[in-house]
Amino acid sequence: MCRQVSERRDAGALMPRLGRRAVLRAGAGAAAGFFLGGSAPSTRAMPLRQEANTIRGGRWIEAEEAGLAQQAEPGAFITFATEYPFQAIAPSWSGEGDPDAIVEVLWSPDGVTWSEPLWIGRAGHNGRPDRAGRHIGALVATPGGTFLQYRTYDGDGNLASLPGFELDYIDAAAGPTLEQVAEPATAPAFAKPPVISRVGWGADESLRYDKKGNEIWPLEYQAVEHVIIHHADTANFNDPVLEMRSIYYFHTITRGWGDIGYNYLVDFLGNVYEGRIGGETAVGGHAEGYNTGSCGICLMGRFFDADITPEMHNAIVWITAWAARDLDPVGSAAFHDIPSLPTICGHRDVNNTTCPGDEFYAHLETIRGEVRRVIKGRDDPSPPPPEWYPGMRVVTIKEGNSLREGPGLDFDVVANVAVGERLIILQGPTTNDRIIWYKVQGASLSGWIAGNLLRPDPGASASGTPPDAASPSPPMDDAAPGSGDGGATPVTDLPPEEAAVGGGDEREDRRNRGRKRRQEAWLDFAPGDAVVVIDGPLNLREAPGLSAAILATLPLGEVESVMAGPVDADGLAWYQVVTPSGAAGWCDGSSLDRP
């Protein structure tokens, strides 16, 4: 998915502009669209998989539409309806076609309002042969689409048909949400990171096998000699778990590789995900000619001009330190046909590509130095505990707070929230525009808000849910520990988000005080005590610690029996309890109370 260097780079740079924009009503270009089958859009896109609770993919095959594409008026769009909503698309065409061709695509949730045009060029060749020698277009996020329209151009920008043209659309909505699986990698240390497993992010393992049940891409193993860092060249701040499942389908089915090509992936919140099945020494498919003996780590997003978030920075240092723990991270060594290659390098150091983006590549030397300090035990780039943590109940402290579609001032405002609005923290923190952002859920709205516009909810009910909340809270215990007093910032003439930017030392002191208060408030239970769940659903884990497997969730109000504890892990007091049904496991003691 990394962009390949060519004379058409500028055209490729026009790829998706939808991440921060609402769909627009169709203009004259969309009105000229050629609706197959008469007045209603065609529904003949060919689905590849239809199972429930899995990653689904459909494929529009132009040649199977009775030549209607060739009957369209010059310059008209081909328009069709898909069989289910999709969150990502990727075009492809025969290897006999122009490799520099460009596809213009618009998507719509209803066939009436349409997105801005997406200009999609060929995806970079990342290490394995693509399906049937085809030219595969880049993967593009299209959240909530159900209709597509397209037209195609040759490498000179002239309207032209492409032989064997297809459009894959991907429905990755089924599966766990980020709130259910994420344990952010925001505390880098020289230890194995709590990587979100393939099971955790919802990989459909059946996609790795052909119709006869044979594994499409059998595993090979090789000790890691180099770490190669990539970027996905997708829109920044996409929903990470949807992005993971979309990239997996794109690599596995659309490109025909049989699995995801990277060994690890990192999102903007600092979460690390397991990529290629088999672990870190499994040979991936991320750098053509240099896969054997390398660990491929991918930053989810596009970093030609934009910088990575501090949370992503911490995570890439952490996972790279782990992958390169037996290597000299600031050294170089021979690798395949390259006589001297930095141990930690960018994709462009081994292939003809712009990956991992100019902005990130400029900081790669800094990354190497930080990784070396972590490996040597001289540095722990761990940030302070977050001021707010998922599941915490908060209220806004100012009028006119902007709730945005994503974590940044460039995202559209979805609502202006009055002072005193009660919210639940869903995700965060992540830093953008010098502001620390959190995703929140209210009674009838959700979005991203600056953290310093919040304070703890003094009226939170025993259940921990705000009055009239429209949706249940996420399972508890999944947040990094710590909270803050959230005191109001001085009123200025800046927008609320800008005014929320505070000094780092003051913020760290406030967080440390909040963490100490929280620990002092823990109740002490003894084996044999009866306890009640006061914040639910509460995760019951296999062992004390946020990286332990989740066995079950305990409902609000259920009475449990304490078996052992407390055990201090990840800054939380853990107790082993047994449920009325006889299930035993460990849970966060701060969500328990005496009946």
Q: What is the DSSP string of 332-401?
A: EEEETTEEEEESEEEGGGTSSB-TT-HHHHTTHHHHHHHHHHHHTTS---PPPPPSS-TT-EEEE-STTE
- Which one of 142, 171, 200 terminates a domain? 171
Instruction: Write out the DSSP string of 11-32.
Output: HHTT----TT---EE--HHHHT
Write out the residue range of the structural domain in which residue 477 sits: 393-520
pLDDT of residue 489: 33
Task: Locate 329 and state its tokens.
Answer: 């991270």
Question: What is the sign of the dihedral through the CA atoms of 241, 16, 136 and 79?
Answer: positive
557 and 439 share one domain: no
112 and 201 share one domain: no
199 and 315 share one domain: yes
- 380 belongs to a structural domain: no
- Which one of 490, 520, 550 terminates a domain? 520
Domain harbouring 340, CATH code: 3.40.80.10
DSSP secondary structure code for residue 250 in this structure: I
65 and 24 share one domain: yes
The amino acid present at 378, given as its one-letter code, is R
307 and 351 share one domain: yes
- 3 belongs to a structural domain: no
* pLDDT, tens only, 366-379: 999 999 988 887 76
The whole-angstrom separation of Cα 409 and Cα 433 is 7
241 and 360 share one domain: yes
144 and 219 share one domain: no
pTM here is 0.64
22 and 113 share one domain: yes
As a 3-state breakdown, the chain gives helix, strand, coil percent values, each rounded to 5, of 20, 30, 50
542 and 504 share one domain: no
- 549 belongs to a structural domain: yes
263 and 400 share one domain: no
Mean pLDDT of 54-62: 88
- 382 belongs to a structural domain: no
Residue 5 neighbours by CB distance under 10 Å? 14
pLDDT of residue 569: 83
Kindly report which listed range (63-67, 222-226, 308-312) carries the lowest average pLDDT score.
63-67
Domain count, the chain: 4
Domain harbouring 479, CATH code: 2.30.30.40
Task: Locate 243 and state its tokens.
Answer: 């992005």
- Which one of 171, 189, 223 terminates a domain? 171
* pLDDT, tens only, 290-325: 999 999 999 999 999 999 999 999 999 999 999 999
- 388 belongs to a structural domain: no
- 2 belongs to a structural domain: no
Query: Exposed/middle/buried for 218, CB within 10 Å: 0-12, 13-18, 19+?
Result: exposed
534 and 514 share one domain: no
The highest-confidence range among 139-148, 328-337, 438-447, 477-486, by mean pLDDT, is 328-337
39 and 163 share one domain: yes
- 344 belongs to a structural domain: yes
- 387 belongs to a structural domain: no
